[in-house]
Structure 1
Amino acid sequence: MALRAPKACLRVQGTDIADSDGNRVILKGCATGGHTNMENFITGYPGHETEMRAAMLRVLGREKYDFFFDKFLEYFFTSSDAKFLASLGINCVRIPINYRYFMDDLNPSVIKPEGFKLVDRIVDACAAEGLYTILDMHTFPGGQNQGWHCDTGIHKALFWEFKDLQDRMVNLWVEIAKHYRGNTWVAGYNPMNEPGDPDHVNLQAFYRRVEKAIREVDAHHMLFLDGNTYAMDFSAFKEVLPNCVYAIHDYATMGFPAGEPYVGSPAQKERLQKSYERKVEFMKAHGVPIWNGEFGPVYASADYADHEKINGQRYDLLGQQLTIYRKDQISWSIWLYKDIGFMGMVYADPDSPYVQLLKPFLAKKKRLGLDKWGRDDGANPKVASVYAPVIQHFRDEIPAEFVDGRYPQVWRVEGHIHRVLRETLFSEIMCGEYASYFADKTLEELDALAASFKLENCAKRDGLNEILRKDAAVKGA
């Protein structure tokens, strides 16, 4: 039997999120990334979802293509997943969404009901277990940032340059708000994931516009507004919008393969604290709630000789971050719930049909360092040596005051070169090789491949889940 819905929508109350009785609510959760918005390192394909899907369609044909992806979407998140998350004490699930589930680029004025049907199923499964949901628009036509996860296949954020693209997304948010107004299990709307506005002013104009449009049809749901430059920079923000929570993403380089090992030294703890404080300065200055919409380390697989040591260090890193968040009593959502073994709370079993089928391809992709989040060129010097001369060529030929000036500047020229050559061009071409592994599969075989992502067929990352369970059990923090 479904739980009784909250009496009213959660709302902003000073620096807190509060329920209808004025009690503080701290949202602690995870994201279903890789489901209604697929990402390369999560499920193993190269490049961008749209290119991968096109390659799969060519290989499978329409009937098998539709069957496989329908089954994938069905199995990836079910009532069993919601029950498992609730058992950990988690109280909120962020749902990253690819806008293409709601509109076709060649017919953008028509909002597809299939998108609501898909998201409703997740919202309802979570509500039945007493879990709030946050609806996160993760991709935008033209791209809201320069990264692979906005699924454009390019390295520019063209969304900011075309008003008609912005009009489309405001209209979509109006329809989403109409659909979910009155649903008190929906904690709120995350209108844009990780904006990358080079001019630092277009984002705020969009937020003002979309907030006004949403309020005209849904006056009660909160909005969760990401900072600019991938939710890390509020330095150009000038105002606070009503009933809005402001969102950071707080990844630590020490939790990634190319970062230094986390040993819990005072200097490392201080670095984590300073990084967090820089990101939340705007919220503290304006007295508004903070939501950390994404964070979390990645984990070494068993083929690393010292994987247990590495993962222990990264659990310690995560624990230290949660200590920081408890001190300020902020809400958070870890990234990620489910994948093929990189950072998920649960993951497709290494012996599952999907992982076994793609084992040679996944090894090749790892060796080539195609996924930004899984890349460790220090462990692949031969491959790294291919790109080193290109990087040096740029540095040799472009004056120093310009070479690292391209937005986002934090990438430096190395990041932009890898974005274009490895994460876009090389990966795009490799989509055909990925899809070829599915050639000639029967419907029964495709069903088994998709079913690799059923919770009952997945392994659980117990060390991570126990950390989250313990933090969720801390009352009032």
Structure 2
Amino acid sequence: MAPPAPKKCLRVQGTDIVDGDGNRVILKGTATGGHTNMENFITGYPGHEHEMRKAMLEVLGREKYDFYFSKFLDYFFTPSDAKFLASLGLNCIRIPMNHRHFLDDLNPSVLRPDAFVLLDRIIDACAAEGLYTIIDMHTFPGGQNQGWHSDAGIHKALFWDFKDFQDRMTNLWVEIARHYKDKTWVAGYNPMNEPGDPDHVNLQAWYKRVEKAIREVDPDHILFLDGNTYAMDFSAFKEVLPNCVYAIHDYATMGFPAGSPYVGTPEQNDHLKKTYERKVEFMKSHGVPIWNGEFGPVYASPDMPDHEKINQQRYNLLGQQLTIYKADQISWSIWLYKDIGFQGMVHCAPDSAYIRLLKPFLEKKKRLGLDKWGRDDSQVGHIYKPVIDHMKENIPEKFWNKRYPEVWKLDGHVHRVIRETLFSEIMCYEYASYFEGKTLEELEELAASFKLENCVRRQGLNEILRRDAEGV
């Protein structure tokens, strides 16, 4: 039997999130990334979701295309997934959404007739297990940041340059808030994932605007507001908005292939602590709650040398991060629940239809380092180095890091344009070619590779999360 819905929405009270009776609630959970917003490293395609979908439509035709993606969306998250997450003691699931589930870019002023069907199903499945949900808008027309996960297909964040885009998404959030205003299992709304506002002022202006618009139809739900520059920078924030939780993303480079291995030295632990404290300084100085909306290492695959040692180091890193969060009693949502074996709490089985079909392509994509997330450039770094060196030879050094986000440095911007955008976009057609000629039965089997019953559970990761969620 499903637990009764809370009588009132969660709300902010000082530095805490509290329920209708004023009891403190610490939200701990994960995110369903790769589902309602697909990402390249999560499900294996290159580039951006809308490019991949276009290539798949060309190969499959409309009937098979609709069938395959309908089955994929059905199987990726079911009541069984919600039950499994609740069994670990987690209490909140972040749902990253692609705006195209709500709006057709060619008819952006009209809400799609099926806009809420899938999201309702996920929220209801979570509510049946006593899980709160946070609705996260992960993509924006024009792109709210410069990354692949905003699904803009470019390397600039044009959302900030066009009022039409801003109007469109403000209006969409009003419709979302109107639809869910009475849903108390919805913990709140995360209006924008990882903003990348080069001017550092447009974001705050839009937050004020969207907060006011949402409150006119839904005065009760919490807003979870990411910091600028991919939820890492609050230095330009000037004020606190009412009933809002402020969100960081706290990835540690030691949890990725390009980072130094985590061995638990005092210096490494001090670095983790200082990085976290820098990000949450705004929240602590203004006395508002903290939510870590994304964090977590990636994991070495079994075919890699010393993968068990590497993964144990990354489990240890995760444990140290959770120790820091526990000291401040903050809410968190780890990235990621389900994928093809890179970072997820569960992942497609190696012998699943999807992995067997795409294995040659996945190996090629890994070798080429097309995905930014956790890539290893050992086999292709020498190809791009001459291009970067050529640019550095001809651009005065004082200008190398002028392009926002500056933290990417010149190297990162070169890779974004050449590899993650141009190279990957063209490679979408090779990915799609693997599906050519598949029958409906075969397409369903491929989609069913993402059913929980057919997936492998990453026990080491899940046990760490369970122990923290249960306060062990």
TM-score, structure 2 normalization: 1.00
How far the C-alpha of 1:287 sits from its partner, in A, is 0.1
C-alpha separation between the residues in 2 aligned to 1:410 and 1:403?
11
Shift of 1:208: 0.1
Please tell me whether residue 183 in structure 1 is matched to residue 170 in structure 2: no
1:369-408 alignment, distance < 5 Å: 369-377=369-377, 379-380=378-379, 383-408=380-405
Shift of 1:403: 1.1
Aligned 1:155-304 pairs, distance under 5 A: 155-304=155-304
Amino acid at match of 1:416: H
Partner of 1:151: 151
Give, in whole Å, the separation in 1 of the partners of 2:130 and 2:421: 40
User: Would you identify which runs of 4 or more consecutive aligned residues in structure 1 move more than 4 Å?
Assistant: none
Give the structure 2 partner of residue 438 of structure 1. 435
* Equivalent position SS for 1:29: strand
User: Who is 2:130 aligned against?
Assistant: 130
Within 1, Cα distance between the matches of 2:85 and 2:115?
23
Instruction: Return the letter of the residue paired with 2:20.
Output: S
Aligned to 1:460, which of 457, 461, 464?
457
Deviation, structure 1 residue 115: 2.3
User: 1:412 maps to what in 2?
Assistant: 409
- DSSP 3-state at the match of 2:410: helix
Give the partner amino acid of 2:308. E
Q: Distance in 2 between matches of 1:137 and 1:169?
A: 9
- Give how far 1:374 is off: 2.8
Identity %: 79
Between the aligned partners of 2:303 and 2:394, the Cα distance in structure 1 is 41
Match of 1:313 in 2: 313
What CA distance in whole angstroms lies between the structure 2 residues aligned with 1:37 and 1:67?
18
Secondary structure of the residue aligned to 2:276 is helix
Distance 2:460 2:105 in 1: 42
Cα distance, 1:375 vs. partner?
1.1
Deviations 1:335-379, CA, capped at 9 Å, x for gaps: 0000000000000001000001000000000000001013111x3
- Indicate the residue corresponding to 1:4 in structure 2: 4
What letter is aligned with 1:131?
L
Distance in 1, matches of 2:457 and 2:113, equals 34
What do residues 166-189 of structure 1 show as CA deviations (whole Å, max 9, x unaligned)? 000000000000000010000000
Give structure 1 stretches of 5+ with no counterpart. Answer: none
Instruction: Specify the code of the residue in structure 2 equivalent to 1:65.
Output: Y
Aligned 8 A contact 1:366 1:374 in 2: no
Amino acid at match of 1:453: F
Aligned residue for 1:333, secondary structure, equals strand
Distance in 2, Cα, partners of 1:223 & 1:278: 22
Task: Provide the rounded CA distance (Å) in 2 between the counterparts of 1:114 and 1:350.
Answer: 34
- Whether the 8 Å CA contact 1:30–1:336 is kept in 2: the answer is yes
CA–CA separation in structure 1 for the residues paired with 2:404 and 2:11: 35
Structure 1 counterpart SS, 2:429: helix
Q: Which amino acid aligns with 2:418?
A: L
> 1:375 & 1:347 partners in 2: Cα distance?
18
Q: Any idea what the Cα deviations from partners look like across 1:304-349, whole Å, max 9, x if unmatched?
A: 1200000000000000000000000000000000000000000000
**Amino acid of the residue matched to residue 365 of structure 1?**
K
Partner of 2:470: 473
Q: Secondary structure at the match of 1:108?
A: strand
Give the secondary-structure state (helix, strand or coil) at the position aligned to 2:60.
helix
| CA displacement 1:209-243 (0-9 Å, x = unmatched) | 00000000000000000000000000000000000
Indicate the residue corresponding to 2:446 in structure 1: 449
- 1:79 counterpart = 2:79: yes
| Superposition pairs of residues 86-105 of structure 1, within 5 angstroms | 86-105=86-105
Question: Which whole-Å deviations, capped at 9, do the CAs of 1:77-103 have from their partners, x for residues lacking one?
Answer: 000000000000000000000000100
Render the CA deviation track for 1:13-61: whole Å, top value 9, x for unaligned: 0000000111110000000000000000000000000000000000000
Aligned AA (1:386): I
Name the TM-score, length of structure 1 as normaliser.
Answer: 0.99
Q: Aligned partners of 1:390, 1:282: CA distance in 2, in Å?
A: 39
Q: Deviations over 1:267-303 (max 9, x none)?
A: 0000000000000000000000000000000000001
SS at match of 2:134: strand
| Rounded Cα–Cα distance in structure 1 between residues aligned with 2:59 and 2:371 | 23
1:425 match: 422
CA distance in 1, matches of 2:338, 2:123: 17
For residues 102 and 390 of structure 1, the distance between their equivalents in structure 2, rounded to whole angstroms, comes to 40
| 1-structure distance, mates of 2:438, 2:374 | 29
Aligned residues: 472
Root mean square deviation of aligned Cα: 0.6
Distance 2:36 2:373 in 1: 20
Q: CA deviation at 1:435?
A: 0.1
> Partners of 1:7 and 1:263 in 2: how far apart?
46
